[in-house]
Amino acid sequence: MFKVTFIGAGSIGFTRALVQDLLSVPEFNKIELAFTDINQQNLDMVTELCQRDITENNLKITIQSTTDRREALKGAKYVFNVIRVGGLEAFETDISIPLEYGVDQCVGDTLCAGGIMYGQRGIPVMLSICEDIKEVAHEDCLLLNYANPMAMLTWICNEVGGVNTIGLCHGVQGGHKQIADVFGLEKQEVDIVCAGINHQTWYIQIKHKGEDLTGKLLEAFETHKEYSQTEKVRIDMLKRFGYYSTESNGHLSEYVPWYRKRENEIKDWIDLGSWINGETGGYLRVCTEGRNWFMDDFPNWLKDPALKYTEEERGEEHGSYILEALETGRVYRGHFNTINQGTIRNLPADAVIEAPGYVDRNGINMTQVGDLPLGCAAVCQVSISVQRLAVQAAITGDDQLLRQAFMMDPLVGAVCTPPEIWQMVDDMLIAGERWLPQYATSIKDAKVRKETEPRLSTKKSEGAARLHVRSLEEMKQNAEEARKNAQEADKAKDRPASTS
């Protein structure tokens, strides 16, 4: 049997859900599992919870749990990466500092000011992880990256880290279900092809019984009772570009320059029924609430019935299906993030794209997409330029490249002047000093400027659509909702999936 290691395993529900997926494969009932995290308390809690699940499913697996990453990686054939460098403390600055300059983000983990800085923290750590993998893991180790910014981290691991890395996201599955919903069909009745870059992937083919439904999609969304209200940005992009985007309304709204640049207009494009529809700092709020709830409610989680390791309870995340295909030969079709190398002809060959692929014993094989529709490709090209600058900045510690990444970012550029961008980057570098060792000199200079040079005026703002972070007492009024929120904040999914 083989060994699977989880880095960042102390995440609230995601590790547990992925373990459930893996151990629902009958052939995997004797694999080795290792968990590692820098937070001993979180690691202990998640290990205890998962070990309880394993025992109650009558498996003889004992989790290796350690804060020593190299020890956890020894001999690992597969590594799941689910880290968040800087945790919620750094995440808060990714949202609050840009808000002072009018940059209103819903998520801030992929592009825009927050996503760029998240990448600056994550890239050096990922390169360190890659070094450990090359030195102590299995010689053919596959790194499955679930961490954001997905494209930047996957890019750096493959091109600089020298580790075979595949990026995995569930955005395609979510949009696929929406498309089926608007046509009144079951998901399995609708065949889709998506292509683009992570969080800006486009459903370029939608078929039902051989009929192409792409041309009927706009009317179907515009007349849908729920989605017409909750997916206004995605519907408008569909209207302007002709294709539906995989990413949620809130995510997508911060990747392009048109929907969040004027505070008084943001609410026209979003919905506050769920954070993912565009709430200011929405993901930070649910992550904060989820962490607080989990820490307080953990004893009750242990009292709940164990998760069942069955095919019926298996989730939609690609990870377990990839391992199943590689180890058993059962073919799996999914959408994966990997170096382009011509898969999408009109996007750069070295960029990380998201496109269809097939997995079997021979490995992960991407299909040839050809050209993206020109408008869709143009949207992706802008984001790739930001990613390229941000990746090089993180490697070199060149703050000039970092500032250029901010300038090229669509939403930052739509809202801020160059002097404002320069000052905002200074502020974010200073705030993130403990996680940004490659910028030591730049941070020192930024501190001098902050103390000695005239400051541009900024605005203490909660944003256009900021909601209150609920206390434990408030969340306890609806414990079921709070627990669901804790899982949602950690990417945990419970929808079934199947190989094909």
Instruction: Please tell me the least confidently modeled range out of 68-77, 85-94, 460-469.
Output: 460-469
Contact 13, 487 (CB under 8 A): yes
Distances (CA, A) of 75 to 34, 136, 137, 145, 353: 10, 6, 4, 18, 29
Distance CA 490, CA 17 (A): 10
pLDDT of residue 490: 57
Query: How big is the CA angle at 103 (ends 101 and 107), to the nearest 5 degrees?
Result: 140
Q: What pLDDT does residue 493 have?
A: 36
Q: How much is the pLDDT for 297? A: 87
3-state secondary structure (DSSP) of residue 306: coil
The DSSP secondary-structure symbol of 184 reads T
Question: Which of these is catalytic: 255, 283, 321, 439?
Answer: 255
So what's the pLDDT on residue 174?
92
- Spatial neighbors of 497 by CB under 8 A, at least 6 apart, are 173, 314, 315, 316, 317, 321
Whether the pLDDT of residue 497 is over 80: the answer is no
Q: For tokens 């094909």, name the residue.
A: 500
Q: What one-letter code names the amino acid at 140?
A: D
Task: Please tell me the predicted confidence (pLDDT) of residue 182.
Answer: 98
Cβ pair 68, 50 in contact under 8 A: no
Mean pLDDT over 83-91 rounds to: 96
User: Is 255 among the catalytic positions?
Assistant: yes
Is pLDDT above 80 for 483? no
Q: Is 12's pLDDT higher than 80?
A: no
Question: Model's pTM, two decimal places?
Answer: 0.95
| pLDDT band, very low/low/confident/very high, at 107 (cuts 50, 70, 90) | very high
Residue 498: pLDDT over 50: no
Mean pLDDT of 109-138: 98
Please calculate the CA angle 265-266-268 and round it to the nearest 5 degrees: 70
| pLDDT at residue 489 in the model | 62
Higher pLDDT, 481 or 272: 272
Confidence tier at 301 by pLDDT (50, 70, 90): confident
210-253 pLDDT per residue, tens? 999 999 999 999 999 999 999 999 999 999 999 999 999 999 99
How does pLDDT run across 395-451, given as a tens digit for each residue? 999 999 999 999 999 999 999 999 999 999 999 999 999 999 999 999 999 999 999
170 catalytic? Reply is: yes
Helix axes 112-136, 418-431, angle to 10 degrees: 40
Interstrand relation of 211-212 and 3-7 (parallel, antiparallel or unpaired) = unpaired
pLDDT tens sequence across 42-64 = 999 999 999 999 999 999 999 99
Give the separation between CA 213 and CA 179, rounded to whole angstroms: 10
Say how far apart CA 178 and CA 200 lie, in whole Å.
Answer: 16
Residue 93 has, within 13 A of its CA and on its CB side, a CA count of 21
78, 101, 146, 170: the catalytic one is 170
Can you tell me the mean pLDDT for 273-302?
92
pLDDT score, position 392: 98
- The two counts, helices (H) then strands (E), for the chain are 20, 12
